[in-house]
């Protein structure tokens, strides 16, 4: 009975000691406090949040930390850039909580869909107002990606890197279907599905029915989600062209030529493993897949081709990240310098081999020189479009998933599903 009290006392003593240590260490190295007097002081630390570190695939983060940031710091003595890697899936939550407590970093690499919502919160600095050289920088980038930074009359960021989805085909499936090239039109796509019957290979797979997933089909089919002025979705999303496009997909799905992953079955083989694994013949995906497969499935040689063309041509969706400056930054000038640095050839080209496409128009050719396999993506980007530039992009995805899934399951007609989705999207549009 006496043993416990004594050991408990010892524990208590340990706690006190440990707490003291923790307290000291936390007091000792708090960087924000150290550079409080900003512009005049010698040493400035810029904090930069992003999710370059893509799991075990650290190629991008390595280039940033070992090459680019040191180069910037060498050019700007006294400025230190501290890059903080945050898991992509959690970055949005962290940005949200940090906005609430006014604890944002200086610079953020944000998904392009997030810029309007954070601009709406008032936590981003409008770059078009504070950069004297704005016009010059804006003119250099692809207009499609620049547009993702536009909110309420101002630009709140600059595009950092871009990407788009193209059709990726497993060569073995091409052979099984008796084709020598990937399908280039909707008709060829459907025909390939028929040719694959009995082979055990599923024609197509995708991971959902959000805008990122269905918009390439809708645009290529000649339709859209709203009118150009963002005033209405009804009458646009439920157009005959869209009904035909979605019906094509639904028919393929009902004939088991599209994997159930598209309606959100997390149990379906994922696209990144099912394509090289021979389960799927084609997927739509981005340029980052190359580096993933080279590690995980050496020897797999995917075939890249443009999104199959429908009545509207071959039109894909723009993805990527923008770089933004937060109102919390106490070192605006240094941060703007870093943002300018991200637009340089050095920065842009260093990340190309890791699957990050450049946003600078003039660098397109050079990019293909460095990474010839990116040519299809570069070409596809010329016509690629943006998703809706509104604050509730996540809600649009939720609506599309919720309304289209029953259509794929055959519970409602495609027209009805699109009408329902359009009615709900109408409510989100600014009037």
Q: What secondary structure letter does DSSP report for 379?
A: H
Q: Which is nearer to another protein, 189 or 217 (CB)?
A: 217
Could you say which residues in the range 111-140 bind another protein, by CB under 8 A? Answer: 117, 121-123
Site for another protein in 87-106 (CB under 8 A): 87-90, 92-94, 96-103, 105
Measured from the CB atom, is 20 or 130 closer to another protein? 20
Q: Which of 75, 296, 345, 382 binds another protein (CB under 8 A)?
A: 296
Q: Does residue 227 bind another protein (CB under 8 A)?
A: no
CA pair distance 396, 391, nearest whole angstrom: 10
Piece of 239-247, 309-317, 372-380, 389-397 that binds another protein (CB under 8 A): 389-397
Rule CB under 8 A: which of 142-181 touch another protein?
none
Going from the C-alpha of 324 to that of each of 44, 95, 112, 155, 428, the distances in angstroms are 18, 12, 10, 10, 25
Task: Give yes or no for residue 363 binding another protein (CB under 8 A).
Answer: no
Closest CB 409 distance from another protein, rounded Å = 9
- The H or E element spanning position 281 is strand 280-285
Instruction: Report the residue number, 241 or 423, with the smaller CB distance to another protein.
Output: 423
CA 353 to chain centre: 18
Cα(125)–Cα(260) distance, integer angstroms: 42
How far apart are alpha carbons 184 and 275 in whole angstroms?
A: 18
Q: Does 15 bind another protein (CB under 8 A)?
A: yes
Give DSSP secondary structure letters for 47-84.
EEEE---BTTB-HHHHHIIIIIHHHHHHHSTTEEEEEE
**Of residues 160 and 360, the one with the C-beta less far from another protein:** 160
Single out the residue of 241, 405, 413, 415 in contact with another protein (rule: CB under 8 A): 405
Residue 268 found at the interface with another protein (CB under 8 A): yes
Q: How far is the CB of 7 from another protein (least distance, A)?
A: 11
Min dist CB 310 to another protein, Å, is 25
Query: Of 39 and 265, which CB lies nearer to another protein in the complex structure?
Result: 265
Query: What distance in Å separates the CA atoms of residue 343 and residue 351, rounded to the nearest whole number?
Result: 12
- Shortest distance (Å) from residue 286 CB to another protein: 9
176-215: contacts with another protein (CB under 8 A): 207-208
Q: Identify which of 157, 169, 178, 204 has the alpha carbon closest to the alpha carbon of residue 359.
A: 157
Beta-ladder partners of 57: 54
Q: Residue 357, SS3?
A: strand
Q: Identify the sign of the CA torsion 367, 371, 375, 381.
A: negative
Contact call for residue 294 and another protein (CB under 8 A)? no
Question: Is residue 412 a contact point for another protein (CB under 8 A)?
Answer: no
- Residue closer to another protein by CB (options 259, 343) is 259
> Which DSSP symbol is given to 356?
-
């Amino acid at each position: 009975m006496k043993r416990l009290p004594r050991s408990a006392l010892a524990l208590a003593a340990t706690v006190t000691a440990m707490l003291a240590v923790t307290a000291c260490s936390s007091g000792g190295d708090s960087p924000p406090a150290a550079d409080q007097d900003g512009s005049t002081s010698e040493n400035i630390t810029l904090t930069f949040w992003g999710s370059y570190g893509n799991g075990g695939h650290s190629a991008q983060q390595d280039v940033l930390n070992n090459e680019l940031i040191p180069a910037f710091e060498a050019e700007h003595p006294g400025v230190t850039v501290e890059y903080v890697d945050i898991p992509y899936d959690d970055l949005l939550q962290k940005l949200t909580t940090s906005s609430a407590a006014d604890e944002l970093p200086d610079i953020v690499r944000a998904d392009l869909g997030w810029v309007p919502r954070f601009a709406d919160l008032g936590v981003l600095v409008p770059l078009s107002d504070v950069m004297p050289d704005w016009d010059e920088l804006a003119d250099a980038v692809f207009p499609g990606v620049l547009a993702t930074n536009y909110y309420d009359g101002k630009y709140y960021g600059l595009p950092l890197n871009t990407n788009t989805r193209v059709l990726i085909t497993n060569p073995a499936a091409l052979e099984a279907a008796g084709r020598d090239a990937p399908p280039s039109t909707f008709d060829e796509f459907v025909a390939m599905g028929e040719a694959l019957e009995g082979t055990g290979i599923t024609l197509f797979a995708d991971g959902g029915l959000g805008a990122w997933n269905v918009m390439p089909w809708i645009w290529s089919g000649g339709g859209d989600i709203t009118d150009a002025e963002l005033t209405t979705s009804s009458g646009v999303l439920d157009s005959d062209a869209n009904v035909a496009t979605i019906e094509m997909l639904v028919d393929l799905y009902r004939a088991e030529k599209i994997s159930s992953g598209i309606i959100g079955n997390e149990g379906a083989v994922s696209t990144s493993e099912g394509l090289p694994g021979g389960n799927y013949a084609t997927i739509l995906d981005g340029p980052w897949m190359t580096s993933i497969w080279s590690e995980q499935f050496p020897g797999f040689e995917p075939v890249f081709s443009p999104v199959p063309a429908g009545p509207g041509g071959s039109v894909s969706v723009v993805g990527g990240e923008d770089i933004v400056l937060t109102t919390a930054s106490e070192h605006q000038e240094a941060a703007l310098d870093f943002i300018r640095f991200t637009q340089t050839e050095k920065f842009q080209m260093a990340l190309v081999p890791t699957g990050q496409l450049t946003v600078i128009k003039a660098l397109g050719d050079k990019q293909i020189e460095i990474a010839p396999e990116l040519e299809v993506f570069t070409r596809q980007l010329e016509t690629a479009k943006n998703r809706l530039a509104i604050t509730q992009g996540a809600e649009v995805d939720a609506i599309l998933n919720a309304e289209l899934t029953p259509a794929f399951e055959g519970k409602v007609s495609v027209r009805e599903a699109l009408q329902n989705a359009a009615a709900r999207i109408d409510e989100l549009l600014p009037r």
